[in-house]
Amino acid sequence: MPSTSFDKRFFDKWYRGNDERFRAGAYLERHARVVLAIAEYLLERRVRSVLDVGCGEGEWRAVMRKLRPGMRYAGMDTSEYVVRRFGARRNVAFGGFGDLGARDDLESFDVVLSVDTLHYVPTGDIARGARVLGRRMTGVAMLHAFARGDAYEGDTGGITNRPAAWYRDTFRRAGLTPVGMACWVGRTLRDSVSALERA
């Protein structure tokens, strides 16, 4: 299977192409409203900070700041093109899901996002990053990936077609607790989630 190169051509094709199906718009805002509602319910306050892992060009930044003006946003991406072009302007650093442990500021984020990217991430990196979130995350993570059997369109080069059960088992073994709609909490919030609220 050919690997995907996350260069300017990739983003031009999938984010700025003629096919409206792949424009984030309302889809992204629905995702954002879900994770904000879950995080704010559990944190008992408004979300003030977001870390977006596999952020691409930082589309989440605009929608999150629209919904929560003044929010602190940071992104991580393994695309040299993205970091070179948007790093300084959109606070995007080089790195991926497996590099979460290297962040000294991880505990300061209310929300950690990794949306529509994990199916591109190597298996070992997912397990390593999930363990870091299980131990250190103080807020809520939205960990969304396309799994085997899902109907989806878009770039399929370089993906690993894992079953959904693999993601669930890996996240649970890492100490993450599911709270619904692809959202998870680590040990800090685990005790504040009732048995019925756990997905």
- Span between the terminal Cα atoms of the chain, in Å: 34
- The CATH code for residues 8-197 is 3.40.50.150
- At residue 74's C-alpha, the angle toward residues 70 and 77, to 5°, is 150
Query: What's the sign of the alpha-carbon dihedral 61, 62, 68, 72?
Result: positive
**One-letter amino acid for residue 98 of the chain:** G
Query: In the structure encoding, which two tokens stand for residue 146, read together?
Result: 């396309």
Mapped onto helix, strand or coil, the DSSP state of residue 188 is helix
pLDDT at 2: 34
Q: What is the pLDDT of residues 8-63, one digit of tens each?
A: 665 555 565 555 554 567 888 999 999 999 999 999 999 999 999 999 888 999 99
In degrees and rounded to multiples of 5, residue 33 shows phi and psi of -65, -35
CA distance 198 to 102: 29
Q: What is the pLDDT of residues 26-36, one digit of tens each?
A: 888 999 999 99
Judge contact between 57 and 23, C-beta under 8 A: no
Domains of the chain, by residue range, sit at 8-197
* Average pLDDT for runs of 10 along the chain of length 199: 54 54 72 97 98 94 96 96 94 97 98 95 97 98 92 71 97 98 97 91
CA distance 134 to 132: 5
Dihedral-angle region of residue 91 (phi above 0 means left; psi in -120 to 50 means alpha; beta otherwise): left
CA distance 197 to 180: 8
Give the single-character DSSP code of 58.
T
